A = this chain, B = another copy of it.
Amino acid sequence: MNIELINTGSELMLGRVLNTHQQWLCRRLADLGYVVTRQVAVADAGHDIKQATREALVRADLVITTGGLGPTSDDITRDLIAQLLGKKLYEDPTIVQHIEQFFTARKRPMPASTRVQAMVPEGAIVLANPNGTAPGLAMKVEDGKWKPGNCDPISPFSTLNSQPSTYPKWLIMLPGPPRELRPMFNDAVVPLLHRVLPIESEYVCRTLRTVGIGESQVADKIGGPLRAALAQGLDLGFCAHIGAVDVRLAAHGPQATQIVRAAEAVVREQVGPNIFAEDDDTLEAVVVRLLAARKQTLALAESCTGGAIAHRLTNVPGASAVLLASLVTYANETKQTFLDVASATLTAHGAVSEAVAREMAEGACRKTGADFALSVTGIAGPGGGSEAKPVGTVFIGLASPDETIVLKQFNPFDRETFKNVTGTQALECLRQQLVRRA
């Protein structure tokens, strides 16, 4: 099935807003087995919207548009598409009533301009909007019917492209505000899709998240062993994040589950120890869960990461059950005040040293009574590097009930990347330790 998503909005083209509709809709659709083949964003300009819609209608079985259904002058999607499909618009009294009630409930007068939102192309299904005034619209497009509606010929790319489809063609228009679009999609669009465009072939997608191994290394390790699965139709994808690589395994059809399950086994066999989570899970969430399950606690002593690790951990709901404190001791004196790092150690080895990382981690454990403490001390740059300790040098300490270990890493990146990568290395060091102790 060919699915295209069209996002309209001039502020998208000016980069003033982030297109969260794309990720949200693509994600929801993929989870239901409907994979979007193309997404297009255009400004609120008649010609661009019409052209994008027309091209999509030729290629796709399902076209979803977002935005342009509101009451203001730049909300032109409804009219343009009715025009394109050669459909008349009529005013739907139940929508007028809904809009009136919407304003009455808010004790505000109903602006005349909002009445345009009650206009419906003949034959369209109205998708209720409990969170706003503009309803969504769904229309079955009788093939060919709409073609006379436009002057230009049809794109040969598109016709070449659209294998004679067994599906009816549907066009769904959704309002722009996420708090209106999302519930409407879940409550009205999903049931409609199941009814009018049911997925006959199964679709399975699984993401394995790895850390501590480069994208090309992962590819080299799993490429060969996966050859059989690839021949069976496995769709293999990689997504390299900073310091982590996601391996995506997907398949269509009746064999999908077996193919993906077999491929997952192969990947785990090759890079198992580097896999920290599946699908949307995060390293910090995994660490919080592992500690919470053991009713154990953590303290941090951060120098060069400057709070970045605490920030990541405290983004996880429930982190407060696990994280006691992070001592972001940026200045040397504060390493002594808050972590009891000996001034002799600082003078003898310098702040960026194995010895200081060790004392920071052990000090954090002692001072907070935590079961584990992670420490980081390094040179984030751009300044502060030396011949012996270039920018990017970092020591990661992990104090645990029976031992303290210190890793030396080299992360010669820009400042933010340095903090991110170092934080991931530190959290992974703890995760490995927790897994070993399990």
Contact = CB atoms under 8 A, between A and B. Distances in A.
Interface in A196-255: 205, 207, 214-217, 219-220, 223, 235-240, 242, 246, 248, 250
A344 interface: no
A22 B14 contact: no
Residue of A15, A43, A235, A324 contacting most chain B CB atoms (<10 Å): A15
A268 interface: no
A237 B73 CA distance: 8
Interface stretch (A102-110, A258-266, A269-277): A102-110
B177 A240 contact: yes
Residue of A39, A51, A338 contacting most chain B CB atoms (<10 Å): A39
A401 interface: no
Contact of A39 (B26, B40, B307): B40
Contacts of A403: none
Interface string A149-166: 000111111101100000
Given A240-B177, A311-B307, A72 B215 contact: yes
A238 B72 contact: yes
A36 B323 CA distance: 45
Contact of A41 (B38, B52, B155, B242): B38
B317 A306 contact: no
Contacts of A333: 324, 368-369
A111 interface: yes
Nearest to A10: B237
A188 to B, nearest CB: 16
A67 B152 CA distance: 33
A325 interface: yes
Contact of A216 (B113, B220, B246): B113
A305 B310 CA distance: 9
Interface string A377-417: 00011111000000000000000000000000010111111
Given A14-B27, A111-B217, 8 more contacts: A14-B35, A16-B246, A19-B22, A22-B41, A44-B237, A111-B214, A154-B156, A327-B338
